Amino acid sequence: PMGADPRGALELFTSLRVPALVVAPCGGLEDAAGNCEWYALRDPNGPAEAAGRVAAVATALHESTRGLPAVMGFSQGAVVALAAAREHPADFGAVFAVAGALPEPAVSRTRSVGLPPIHAFLGDADPVFPSRTVQASLDRLRAEGYTADLRTYPGLDHDISDAEAADVRAAVEAAIR
């Protein structure tokens, strides 16, 4: 899941050095400027509903691919990717969240098996998802049994730098080998 324009996801992964099927859907909604959105910002159920849509696609893809699908998202897409991992952990082999945080859960969960690793990437100057918010969501996931790591990028705001994009690609390649 990527916000704004799914072509950004395709561009990010065109230089992968491993075979991969990249699916970059629009989230299902559009804002006034015509950008893709995964959920209305004020909808408390939006991330979970979008995660369900992503999990349905992952299930369909799993039948025709090798291994469990990985899910990656930027901003709202990262929120959805993290929610998908939390709500549908058996459907994903790995999760890559760029500039996003886990939405507030209704109930905390504890699991110990079958959880996908979480790889988060964040600019340390991101005003939309501050470092403390992202770190707190990763701490919640770790408390539920997930492994989670965070890479930060000095001075980067709510964007993807070339260095961050290269790190995301390398992490994806390592996960799907």
DSSP of 139-160, one letter per residue?
HHHHHTT--EEEEEETT--SS-
Return d(Cα 69, Cα 93) in angstroms, integer. 6
Ranges 20-29, 33-42, 96-105, 122-131: which has the least confidence: 20-29
Element housing 8 (H / E): helix 7-13
This prediction has a pTM of 0.88
- What local confidence, expressed as pLDDT, does residue 14 receive? 80
Strand partners, 74: 2, 98
- What local confidence, expressed as pLDDT, does residue 4 receive? 60
- What local confidence, expressed as pLDDT, does residue 111 receive? 65
Residue 1 has pLDDT above 50, yes or no: no
Highest mean pLDDT among 70-74, 138-142, 150-154 belongs to 150-154
Q: In the CATH hierarchy, which top-level class contains the domain 7-176? A: alpha beta
Kindly list the domain boundaries of the chain, sorted by start residue: 7-176
